[in-house]
Amino acid sequence: MISFQRVSKRYAEGHDALREVSFDIAKDDLVFLTGHSGAGKSTLMRLIMLMDRATRGKVLVDGVDLATVGKRGIPGHRRNIGVVFQNHQLLFDRPVFDNVALPLVIGGYDYREVGRRVRAALDKVGLLSKERAMPLTLSGGEQQRVGIARAVVCRPRILLADEPTGNLDPELSAEIMRLFEDFNQVGVTVLIASHDLALISRLRHRILTLKEGRLVNGGVA
Ligand code: ADP
Ligand code: ADP
């Protein structure tokens, strides 16, 4: 589903954020991406989302070489990818429902379909009773679950999470990880960037490790 073939990324000022990175993630995989701050994790995710482009090498998503996707193809490409951030990036002046509905409203879905899909997504993360709540009245774990509901509301085939448990205690972190495992069980490819080595090693999924832009574990030669 996601394939990197000797991918390098050099930023304008000459810094190599990724160096010859190669790996394959299959459709039914849940994979952790780890490495110190500055190792290149966010850069790798930005390339998958086409927020940035590789300097050298090939990135393929669902068989499509991203070099062939032009500006106009980017929204269609991103519709297949749900993204979860550490700080949720929720709209705090809008209730839970509106936050989760946002990608559908942008996508031009009709009113009834928005309601149906938002409730299906909230149900999956266990927040159906909170649709009218304002985000600030929710706990950190609940806010993160709103972020996950928003990420899956368009039913993406790939879910990317950048430090999704960074602000949560171990118990809530485990709960959030179980949610990702649930989505993975129904066929969503999941890639999670995380520093939380204790949690990652307990979960026994595949681990890709970046060190100064090089993949030092979990890749292919
Ligand atoms: P991580 O997510 O693992 O912390 P990043 O992918 O954010 O790592 O960063 C990898 C390296 O690339 C770092 O040295 C960072 O300073 C650099 N970098 C990231 N984004 C940019 C950018 N837009 N311009 C220049 N350098 C960047
Ligand atoms: P519908 O297919 O009628 O829109 P749902 O949105 O509730 O209904 O999803 C139906 C099934 O598809 C559920 O079992 C759900 O877990 C699964 N599913 C498959 N892919 C995804 C995805 N990307 N996000 C959420 N659910 C998904």
CATH number at residue 201: 3.40.50.300
Is 166 in a helix, a strand, or coil? coil
Same domain, 8 and 74: yes
| Domain termination residue (choose one: 120, 135, 155) | 155
**Which ligand 2 atom sits closest to the C-alpha of 159?**
23
Together in a domain, 161 and 145:
no
If asked whether residues 48 and 9 sit together in one domain, one would say: yes
- SS3 per-residue string spanning 73-102: HHHHHHCCEEEEECCCCCCCCCCHHHHHHH
Q: 220 falls in which pLDDT band (50, 70, 90)?
A: low
- Ligand 1 centroid to Cα of residue 9, in Å, is 10
pLDDT band at 5 (very low <50, low <70, confident <90, very high): very high
User: Which of 79, 116, 155 for a ligand 2 pocket mutation test, highest count of atoms within 8 Å of Cβ?
Assistant: 155
Q: In this predicted structure, what is the pLDDT of residue 34?
A: 95
How far, in Å, is the centroid of ligand 1 from the Cα of 13?
11
Q: What is the mean pLDDT of the chain?
A: 93
pLDDT at 190: 97
Cα dist from 212 to 15, 19, 36, 76, 144, whole Å = 10, 8, 8, 32, 29
33/193 Cα distance (integer angstroms):
4
Q: Helix 140-152 and helix 111-124: axis angle, to 10°? A: 130
Residue 31 lies in a domain: yes
Residue type present at position 142? E
* 101-110 tens-digit pLDDT: 998 988 889 9
Is the domain of 194 the same as that of 143?
no
CB-based contact 180:106 (threshold 8 Å) = no
Domain limit, last residue, from 155, 170, 204: 155
User: What is the Å distance from ligand 1's center to 162 Cα?
Assistant: 13
Confidence at 119, pLDDT banded by 50, 70, 90: very high
Distance between CA atoms of 196 and 145, rounded to whole angstroms? 18
Q: Which domain holds residue 132?
A: 91-155
**Nearest ligand to the C-alpha of residue 212?**
1
Check whether 221 has a pLDDT greater than 60.
no
Strands 30-34 vs 56-61: parallel, antiparallel or unpaired: unpaired
Ligand nearest to the CA of 15: 1
Q: Are 208 and 32 a contacting pair, CB within 8 Å?
A: yes
Separation of 124 CA from ligand 2 center, angstroms? Answer: 9
The domain tally of the chain equals 2
Kindly report the protein residue whose alpha carbon is nearest to atom 15 of ligand 2. Answer: 186
Helix (H) and strand (E) counts for the chain? Answer: 7, 10
Whether residues 167 and 133 share a domain: the answer is: no
Residue with the bigger pLDDT between 72 and 220: it is 72
For atom 22 of ligand 1, which residue has the closest CA? 11
In this structure, the answer to whether residues 103 and 173 fall within a common structural domain is no
Cα angle: 118, vertex 48, 216; to 5 degrees: 125
Q: Is residue 168 part of a domain?
A: yes
Question: Using CA positions, which residue lies closest to atom 22 of ligand 2?
Answer: 155
Calculate the dihedral angle through the C-alpha atoms of 72, 77, 161, 154, rounding to the nearest 10 degrees: 110
> pLDDT digits over 82-108, tens only?
999 877 689 999 999 999 999 898 888
pLDDT per residue over 158-202, tens digit each? 999 999 988 788 888 898 899 999 999 999 999 999 988 888 888
